[in-house]
Chain A
Amino acid sequence: MKPIVFPTLVLVLALCGASAAAAPQQVTLTVPTMDCATCPITIKAALLKVPGVSKAQVSYERRRAQVTFDDAKTSVAALTKATDDAGYPSFVSDAR
Chain B
Amino acid sequence: MTSLAARPDHAPDDSPGRGSASALWLAGLAALLASSCCVLPLVFVLVGISGAWIGYLTRLEPYSLWLDGLAVSALCLAAWRIYRPRLPALAARGTPVPAACTAPDVAQPCATARPALRAWFWVIVVLTLLPIVVSLSAPLFY
Interface residues of A, Cβ cutoff 8 Å to B: 33, 35-42, 45-46, 49, 58, 60, 82, 84-89
Contact = CB atoms under 8 A, between A and B. Distances in A.
Contacts of B138: 37-38, 40-41
Interface string B45-84: 1100011101101100100100000000000000000000
Contact of A37 (B45, B50, B55, B135): B135
A36 to B, nearest CB: 4
B50 A86 contact: yes
> What size tier do the contact residues of chain B reach?
20 to 34
Interface of B: 37-39, 41-42, 44-46, 50-52, 54-55, 57-58, 61, 64, 134-136, 138-139, 141-142
Given A36-B37, A36-B64, A41 B42 contact: yes
A16 B86 CA distance: 78
